[in-house]
Amino acid sequence: MVADTIHLQTSSGLVHPSVNVLGYEIVVDLPIHTLILSAIGGAFVLRYAYSWLKLLAELTIIPGINVKSFQSRKTSTWALVTGCTSGLGLEFARQLAAKKYNIVLLGRRQEALDDLAKEIESKYGVQTKTVLVDMAQAESRSTAFAQVEALGKELDFGVLINNAGVSHEMPVTFAETPLAEIDNIVQTNFLGTFHLTRVVLPFMIARSKSGPKSLILNIGSMDGRVPPTLLAVYGATKGGLSVFSKALAEEVRGQRVLVNAVTPAFVISNMSKIRKSSLTVPTAKVFVHATLTSIGLARGAQGRPYEMTPFWAHAFMDYFVSLFGYASEMAGIKIVDYVHKDLRRRVLRKRARDAAKGKQE
């Protein structure tokens, strides 16, 4: 049964769309411009509803790519982890070793590297190699990465975790940031990652032609997502690392190398100087587990290809910063500005107290 003709008489002169169905003219009870606006509004609602449901599904029921899928069946596979003697790097090394990856450990302190190598070999029954490197020093990088290149000719490099990074000693305006501090941050966070990736990538491309896919995870920061006042240089390096990751990901996608930028907010670490976990501040162990079980999923980074915000609380933060465009972005910037200014005040007060104590002694 087809609905009969619906005619509306209007004195406003508005045009009402109509359609002929089986000989019956159907006149819609809305002006055409209202229909267009309704369709646009509906598209926006659907877009946000889809991204919200996708976020919830990726946090609860959709599994990430199994990290063991990057291992070769023909030979033992190696994962390289930078900045591995504490924090996130330490946990990446341990948890990848638990998945039976052999580990190339890269860090600045040989004694700490040796201790970690013994722990991993004893606990997980895998092999390790250590490479001493100071990412902030060009000569050290050159020597260390020559060692890595030599290892790449013998070993199966399947995973690279670019985790090494440094930040400012404390929140500071750009105008007051020492040039040496700028160089240290840029060399470590940018050039160290670029140079090591350039050395390792050809080996990954070669292995993945006839073998399993390879994986590169570049550890960024929410400070590269929300512009961080008083940490401008650090934020710039982490934002740039995200752009680098996405460009590289598209370059090598057809060569079976998966590249993801990983976006954490605060995590317990030496860099954050936070010592107690909370709802929004996970331990390094919890964060790394969230990362390795959600490879290939955006989670909080909805709508941003080749990027992931894996920990659930950080994912919600990231999602809501993007939700209302300019308004939510500015709200995020203002919140970060307040947090960093407050942190700077507290650091300066502590230094003043310590200085006063020193004078009394």
- What is the rounded CA–CA span in Å between residue 14 and residue 189? 61
pLDDT of the residue at 43: 84
What's the whole-model pTM score?
A: 0.88
Would 176 be classed as within a structural domain? Answer: yes
Would 41 be classed as within a structural domain? Answer: no
The structural domain count of the chain equals 1
Would 29 be classed as within a structural domain? Answer: no
Would 212 be classed as within a structural domain? Answer: yes
- Pair of tokens at residue 322: 């993007």
Would 289 be classed as within a structural domain? Answer: yes
249 in Cβ contact with 258 (< 8 Å): yes
212-242 pLDDT, tens digit per residue, is: 999 999 999 999 999 999 999 999 999 999 9
29 in Cβ contact with 6 (< 8 Å): yes
Structural domain boundaries enclosing 87: 74-342
Would 22 be classed as within a structural domain? Answer: no
Is residue 132 helix, strand or coil? strand
Query: Which residue is catalytic, options 101, 234, 306, 319?
Result: 234
DSSP 253: G
pLDDT of the residue at 3: 43
pLDDT of the residue at 9: 46
> CATH code at 143?
3.40.50.720
- Stretches where the chain sits below pLDDT 50 are 1-11
Would 278 be classed as within a structural domain? Answer: yes
319 is catalytic: no
Give the closest residue to 189 by CA, choosing from 150, 231, 238. Answer: 238
234 is catalytic: yes
- What is the rounded CA–CA span in Å between residue 229 and residue 240? 16
Question: pLDDT exceeding 70 applies to what percent of the chain?
Answer: 92
Would 286 be classed as within a structural domain? Answer: yes
pLDDT of the residue at 142: 97
The torsion angles phi and psi of 309, rounded to 5 degrees, stand at -120, 90
328 in Cβ contact with 319 (< 8 Å): no
Q: Where are the beta strands (DSSP E) in the chain?
A: 18-21, 24-27, 77-82, 102-107, 128-132, 156-162, 214-219, 257-262, 307-308
pLDDT of the residue at 5: 41
Query: Which residue is catalytic, options 124, 129, 238, 319?
Result: 238
